[in-house]
Structure formats: structure tokens, C-alpha cells
Amino acid sequence: MCGRYALTVAPDVLAALFSLSSSKGTANDPTEVPARFNLAPSQEAQVVVRAEDARGCALSHMRWGLVPSWARDSKIAHRTINARSETAAEKPSFRSAFKRRRCLVPASWFYEWRREAGTKVPYRIRRSDRRPLAFAGLWERWEGTSAEPPRVSFTILTTNANEDVAALHDRMPCLIEPEDFDRWLTPEVDDPGATSRLLAPAPAGLLTLDRVSSRLNSVRNEGPGLMTPDTLF
């Protein structure tokens, strides 16, 4: 699964990587994306979608935990932070978004935990070459109720863990490479074989793991200090 991640990419790098259309001075301006070291479910995050004119991509501000358009309330969101790539196309919560509303979730790295000596120890998982990651995602617009405001939300697709991650968890985010961004964001081109390839586990050796601070365990903690493992104190 993917239950926590970070986005610390410099704005100009983010804009160049995803060919972002200009949105200067708006909430979706890539220069206005703050560094986040502990993004958690139910929090707001920036995701990448196709621009409305279908020329390039744009940032969109969404909440993590997909609420389907048909939901009676938003309680389902805590169960839909991730979607299994193998079944998302058929599951009622995700199938509409899988066919029509795909996104990319930019990240610097993600986290998983391992129990060591009775303690949950967090590990950072990032590319060996330190380049940013792009998770395959789905998004949905929910119109809200008399008790809750409308919400635009997203989920992160997962697949079987590769050799790099398997020691920590049996699932990992689906990672999309830059040359495949357009293909993933164009669901109307129906090619199940290509889609299956995009959602396969990342090749072994792509990712590296390192231990970080146990302060990461609390979603209230934030900042670069979380990257210093407890063993250094």
C-alpha cells in the first residue's frame, strides 16, 4: 500500500517534469507548492491532471481518499486512499474514474514501516537516482450534501511489491515513468495490454531504502528533521 509520502521537489523541476501549463498566481501554481515531508490520508495534496484544453498537464488541489460521485457521505474516504490496480477497473468505487479520470501523484519518496524490537520503524523509499516519482492515481468529484461541502479527491493505485520493497510490505505504488505520462492520462485510448504494463511492479534496483525518524509515525509532525534516523541521537 501507500499510506504516507513526501513532496519536496523544487517548483521549476516539478513544472518541467510534468510539462505543466502556466497557472501563475492560482492555487495550482507549481511555484506555490510547499515542501511536504509527511503527507497523510485526508490531507490536501497537489496532483497532476490533463489540462482542460488537453494540451499539457496542470496541477490540481485534491484531498487524499477518493469519494465516489454516488457516495451518500465522505466516510468511505478512509478506505479508498489506495486502489488495487488489478481490480480498480471493476470495483464500483473506482471503475468510473479508471475509465475517465486518471491522474499522476508527484512524490519525492514514500514510506513503509517494519516492526523491529517491538517498535514500528519507518523507512523512506526513493529512486536510487533521486529523481522524483509519479504514482498512478485516479480522481473523482463529489458534489457533497447538506452537511458536507463538495470535494475533489484522489486515490493512489498499488501493485505487488518489487524486490526492493518486499522486505517492508507486499504492496507498493504503481510508478509511471515520464515517457508514459501521456499514455496513463489518456484513458479513452483503450489498450488493456499497455495499461497492464504501466501498472506492473517497478523493476528491481530502481528504489533504495533508508531509515528515518520515528517522529514520522505521527501525522502532526512535519519538516526535514523527520529524515534523520533516531539512531543518530
Using DSSP, state whether 45 is helix, strand or coil. strand
Q: Residue 181's pLDDT is what?
A: 95
Reduced DSSP (H G I as helix, E B as strand, rest coil) percent helix, strand, coil of the chain, to 5: 20, 35, 45
Q: Residue 233's pLDDT is what?
A: 45
Q: Residue 204's pLDDT is what?
A: 96
Which ranges of 145-233 does DSSP label H, i.e. alpha helix? Answer: 181-184, 192-198
Pick the catalytic residue from 44, 52, 86, 112.
112
Amino acid at 174: C
Whole-Å CA distances, 119 to 20, 48, 111, 147, 208: 41, 36, 16, 40, 22
Domain residue ranges in the chain: 5-217
Place of cell 458536507: 148
Q: Residue 52's pLDDT is what?
A: 77
Cα 215 to its chain centre, rounded Å, is: 21
Instruction: Please tell me whether the overall predicted TM-score, pTM, comes out greater than 0.75 for this model.
Output: yes
- Catalytic-residue membership of 163: no
Pick the catalytic residue from 2, 57, 103, 174.
2
- Catalytic-residue membership of 2: yes
Identify the CATH homologous superfamily for domain 5-217.
SOS response associated peptidase-like (3.90.1680.10)
Phi, psi of 107 (to 5 degrees): -150, 150
> Would you state the cell numbers that stand for residue 29, as one nine-digit string?
501554481
Along the chain (233 residues), what's the average pLDDT of each consecutive run of 10 residues? 93 90 59 87 95 80 97 96 97 96 98 91 97 98 95 98 96 97 89 89 97 96 94 57
